[in-house]
């Protein structure tokens, strides 16, 4: 390197799954090998064992594996007998799948704006959105931080509504010491590879306390059938593969350690970025599992470009509020209907976070963002 030349720093992606799989490769391969030996690919032994282990980790009585997190939401809505003519409240800022779960069940998502500091559904706005058709509220634990389930539960019980957790980003998170997955009637998880607990492909689960709801979910996820060739209702084929369950059983043991590392990385970002006044950090509580580390910036697009230019894989979660998506234009919400979600979409910026994140990320992000000011 000649004098004055910047060192050629290795790129740090937004998420890097290779380090995780390099470390666990032998154990994962052994688990998959056992599935091949048994060849119990559908509803095999590892599925039942993983359902029990994951439900127990969530403080829930039952786990019902399914194809992915979107299906988990769809199945949860249907299990509660919610369908055409019914309304389900969802936050305006979330991944589209939260609303898709409602729409796929034939019901209508009704949007509510979010808290300006967290992007979590704002409980103070819920009551204004409740109508005679409202049947449930989906609380999304966005970025790994639990929604205010205490306030949401109080409003839901006053109005006789069910609550579903969208915990797709919140494996291992907690609200006042209670785990995500135990905070509502049903909770939905995704095991998409980049999630805090991710499969080597798609996967999902609904967890439930009530055995009758669990039995209904099992039927709904299996072409409406509890007994082979006895199909009692029209339902999708959405099962968790045995191979994915075997992978997830290996990874579940590591989740507490990965969560500890994510929290420590988030704290390191907090201190590295604190001197940069222009960057606002997202308020997070101690129960957050930091699926994403999100800040807000008034010049987000320039910051995003500068970070990427410097080899830091920054991203946006999410660039649109739900009503700004083509899929939900038919709901008829005008621009400006959800000002906080719209502002979030324009200013949010996600920095790389994953258990194996190199510690150089914090200083590099701070340098780029302070120079870009
Ligand atoms: C908040 C949220 N809900 C639902 C989903 C849907 O999960 P999947 O991608 O497994 O369908 C995801 C993830 O993609 C998500 O982030």
- Please say if the pLDDT value at position 22 is more than 70: yes
Long-range contacts of 5-9 (CB under 8 A, 24+ apart): 9/310, 9/311, 9/360, 9/364
% residues pLDDT > 70 (the chain) = 97
pTM: 0.97
Q: Is 69 in the pocket of ligand 1 (CB under 6 A)?
A: yes
- Please say if the pLDDT value at position 3 is more than 60: no
What pLDDT is recorded for position 8? 65
Cis ω before 171 (30° cut-off from 0): no
Any idea what the Cα angle at residue 169 is, between residues 327 and 284, rounded to 5°?
Answer: 110
- Please say if the pLDDT value at position 99 is more than 80: yes
- Please say if the pLDDT value at position 206 is more than 90: yes
Rounded CA Rg of the chain: 21
Q: Give the number of other Cβ atoms within 10 Å of residue 202's Cβ.
A: 20
Half-sphere exposure of 294 (CA within 13 A, CB side): 27
Q: Strand, helix or coil at 368?
A: helix
Distance between CA atoms of 284 and 173, rounded to whole angstroms? 11
In which band, very low, low, confident or very high, does the pLDDT at 373 lie, cut at 50, 70 and 90?
low
Distance between CA atoms of 267 and 34, rounded to whole angstroms? 40
Distance between CA atoms of 359 and 357, rounded to whole angstroms? 6
Q: Is 165 in the pocket of ligand 1 (CB under 6 A)?
A: no
What pLDDT is recorded for position 372? 65
Q: Is 97 in the pocket of ligand 1 (CB under 6 A)?
A: yes
For atom 7 of ligand 1, which residue has the closest CA?
Answer: 69
Calculate the average pLDDT of the chain: 96
Which two tokens mark 92?
């305006």
* Domains parsed from the chain with CATH numbers: 20-252 (3.40.640.10), 254-371 (3.90.1150.10)
Alpha helices by DSSP H, listed for the chain, are: 17-38, 45-57, 69-79, 97-104, 126-129, 149-159, 211-220, 242-252, 255-273, 300-309, 339-347, 360-371
- Please say if the pLDDT value at position 2 is more than 60: no
Distance between CA atoms of 185 and 135, rounded to whole angstroms? 13
Q: Is 166 in the pocket of ligand 1 (CB under 6 A)?
A: yes
For atom 8 of ligand 1, which residue has the closest CA?
Answer: 69
Which two tokens mark 343?
């502002």
Q: Is 180 in the pocket of ligand 1 (CB under 6 A)?
A: no
What pLDDT is recorded for position 284? 86
Q: Give the number of other Cβ atoms within 10 Å of residue 195's Cβ.
A: 20
Our separate counts of H helices and E strands in the chain read 12, 14
Q: Write the pLDDT tens digit of every residue in 153-180.
A: 999 999 999 999 999 999 999 999 999 9
- What atom in ligand 1 is closest to the CA of residue 195? 13
**How many A from CA of 35 to the centre of ligand 1?**
26
Q: Is 169 in the pocket of ligand 1 (CB under 6 A)?
A: yes
- Please say if the pLDDT value at position 5 is more than 50: no
- What atom in ligand 1 is closest to the CA of residue 94? 1
Report the pLDDT averaged over residues 328-334.
Answer: 98
């Amino acid at each position: 390197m000649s004098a004055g030349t910047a060192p050629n720093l290795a790129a740090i992606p937004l998420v890097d799954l290779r380090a995780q799989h390099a470390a666990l490769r032998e154990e994962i391969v052994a688990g998959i090998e056992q599935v091949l030996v048994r060849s119990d690919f559908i509803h095999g032994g590892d599925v039942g064992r993983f359902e029990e282990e994951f439900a127990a980790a969530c403080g829930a009585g039952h786990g019902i594996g399914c194809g992915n997190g979107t299906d988990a939401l769809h199945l949860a809505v249907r299990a509660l007998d919610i369908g055409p003519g019914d309304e389900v409240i969802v936050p305006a800022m979330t991944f589209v799948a939260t609303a898709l779960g409602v729409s796929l069940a034939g019901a209508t998502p009704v949007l509510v704006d979010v808290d300006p500091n967290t992007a979590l559904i704002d409980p103070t706005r819920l009551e204004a959105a409740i109508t005679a058709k409202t049947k449930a509220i989906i609380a999304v634990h966005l970025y790994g931080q639990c929604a205010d389930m205490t306030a949401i539960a109080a409003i839901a019980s006053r109005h006789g509504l069910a609550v579903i957790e969208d915990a797709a980003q919140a494996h291992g998170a907690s609200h006042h010491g209670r785990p995500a997955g135990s905070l509502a009637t049903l909770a939905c998880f995704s095991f998409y590879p980049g999630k805090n607990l991710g499969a080597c492909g798609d996967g999902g689960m609904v967890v439930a306390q009530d055995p009758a709801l669990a039995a209904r979910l099992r039927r709904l996820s299996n072409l409406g059938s509890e007994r082979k060739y006895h199909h009692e209702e029209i339902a999708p084929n959405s099962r968790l593969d045995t191979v994915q369950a075997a992978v997830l059983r290996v990874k579940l043991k590591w989740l507490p350690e990965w969560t500890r590392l994510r929290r420590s990385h988030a704290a390191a970002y907090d201190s590295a970025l604190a001197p940069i006044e222009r960057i606002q950090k997202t308020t997070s509580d101690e129960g957050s599992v930091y699926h994403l580390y999100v800040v807000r910036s008034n010049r987000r697009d320039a910051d995003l470009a500068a970070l990427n230019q410097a080899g830091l894989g920054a991203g946006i979660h999410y660039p649109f509020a739900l009503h700004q998506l083509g899929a939900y234009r038919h709901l008829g919400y005008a621009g400006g209907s959800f000002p906080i979600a719209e502002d979030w979409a324009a200013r949010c910026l996600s920095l790389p976070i994953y258990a194996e994140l190199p510690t150089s990320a914090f200083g590099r992000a701070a340098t780029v963002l302070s120079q870009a000011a």
